[in-house]
A and B are shown apart, each in its own frame.
Chain A
């Protein structure tokens, strides 16, 4: 292969700027009254927390800033939620739902 297209795993740290790639679509499915995440040959049902997290993954905010915003939104201490948020973001990255804005990984 002439060009290197190999993908690398996104490892979530405080500095990562997570983003949903173009082909991942978060939509409210009015007919079924739920949020859905459209992915290649997959559909996911993000719960309310996951939807809040995903809406903050705009490729601009760092994970630290996302945790901070969620801490304010849910009135929860940063040290309590930080671990869970990072674990959720890592799971989403491993499912291909999130990439790092610095190293696009279609």
Chain B
């Protein structure tokens, strides 16, 4: 039995639902009580006044199910910041979507979680910034987060919901990977993501404070391999590699416009949550255009779908339908052209230069963290967190 990966969109004769995205990432809001300096939200955060209404999100759920989406990921920001989360989950469950709540947990209550479960929530993914409470508070610029997360993990289990812990890994917490694994076992999590952060948006801004050394990264790989074997049947561990230390780029989003679709808080429909970093693209909004039309014909989706947009060395590469040339946003950020090979690829002409950046930055003294907040990308660390 294999894992299902996104299906190609190439065959126009195939019915629309056969070419539908399998996953929909819903960024319900960009509001979040935490200020993690590696946040995957864009530097230019969307304001609450621009957010979709309850009815618009419910319509998005119905449209997603009709299109053939199977799983939805309710994320943010912090999705529980929306008071109508229950109304959205209710409709998602009614139309048969597998619903996943991706939360930092600190603003959740047991009553609310119980209600969400009763409405049909299928799974909870809880983030942790570290297992060391003081360091976790410092990384998230939020006091007392750890105690709340421990409580939330216990509620998830008491309520009979499956629990995934997501631990973003970087230079500031990489020493605690073994303790994070132990913590996941203690909590009764079924899955743990040891996710080396990806260097876009806020993380790219903070890269030199967050990039681990290659030696430290390799050690986490060995620790996770050992733990996977030891914890078989107890804990599934997913390991996400920082692509600065990979030989080949990751197939970002499983290929552009192939299997994943993303809706921002204001309703913009993106092929990837970082796609707004590509200034030459325009994005349709679910307020104006049906989701199916955007998926099938939206200009941003068509731009890098398939392989015809590729240049060399991707165009003639045997791996072009395996990794799809890596990440368009990373290619743009580091080479100035989104159609270039992602520098994460060893075949990119920029690869040596880029690998050196990670080596130099990870060995230099770490600068102050730049915290994620509206307008924060232009300022230095907040006074209360340094």
Contact = CB atoms under 8 A, between A and B. Distances in A.
Nearest to B14: A32
A3 interface: yes
A32 B68 CA distance: 9
Contacts of A9: 232-234
B108 interface: no
B123 interface: yes
Is the interface on chain A under 10, 10 to 19, 20 to 34, or 35 or more residues?
Answer: 35 or more
A95 B79 CA distance: 28
A40 B123 contact: yes
Contacts of B153: 5
Contacts of A42: 3
Interface stretch (A44-52, A59-67, A73-81): A44-52
The DSSP consensus for interface residues of chain A is loop
Interface string B137-155: 0000000000000100110
23 contacts: A1-B187, A2-B154, A7-B188, A25-B98, A31-B18, A32-B7, A32-B17, A32-B68, A38-B70, A40-B122, A40-B123, A41-B71, A41-B125, A43-B4, A43-B22, A45-B4, A47-B1, A94-B233, A96-B162, A96-B236, A106-B157, A106-B161, A106-B162
Contacts, number: 109
Given A44-B2, A45-B4, A3 B161 contact: no
Contact of A1 (B17, B122, B154, B190): B154
Interface of B: 1-4, 7, 15, 17-18, 20, 22, 68, 70-71, 73, 96, 98, 100, 122-123, 125, 150, 153-154, 157-158, 160-164, 185-188, 190-191, 232-236
A42 B125 CA distance: 13
A37 interface: yes
A3 B233 contact: no
Interface in A52-106: 91-96, 106
A1 B146 CA distance: 12
A93 B73 CA distance: 24
A42 B100 CA distance: 11
Interface centre among B125, B186, B190 (most CB of A within 10 A): B190
A40 B4 contact: no
Interface centre among A5, A9, A40 (most CB of B within 10 A): A40
Contacts of B164: 40-41
A44 B3 contact: yes
Contacts of B1: 37, 44-47, 50, 91-92, 95
Contact of A22 (B17, B125, B160, B190): B160
Contacts of B123: 23, 40-41
Given A31-B17, A43-B22, A1 B150 contact: yes
A43 B154 contact: no
A13 B15 CA distance: 44
Contacts of A10: 233
Given A3-B154, A9-B232, A106-B162, A43 B188 contact: no
Nearest to A95: B236
Contacts of B17: 30-32
Nearest to B73: A41
Given A1-B154, A41-B123, A47-B1, 9 more contacts: A1-B150, A1-B186, A5-B188, A31-B15, A36-B70, A37-B1, A40-B164, A50-B1, A93-B233
A6 B68 contact: no
A50 B2 CA distance: 11
B155 to A, nearest CB: 11
Nearest to B193: A41
Nearest to B124: A40
Contacts of A46: 1
Nearest to A12: B233
Contacts of A91: 1
- The 10 closest A-B CB pairs, nearest first, are A5-B188, A31-B17, A9-B233, A43-B4, A40-B123, A5-B157, A38-B98, A31-B68, A94-B233, A23-B162
B234 A40 contact: no
Nearest to B188: A5
A43 B70 contact: yes
Contacts of B7: 32
A93 to B, nearest CB: 6
Contacts of A29: 68, 70
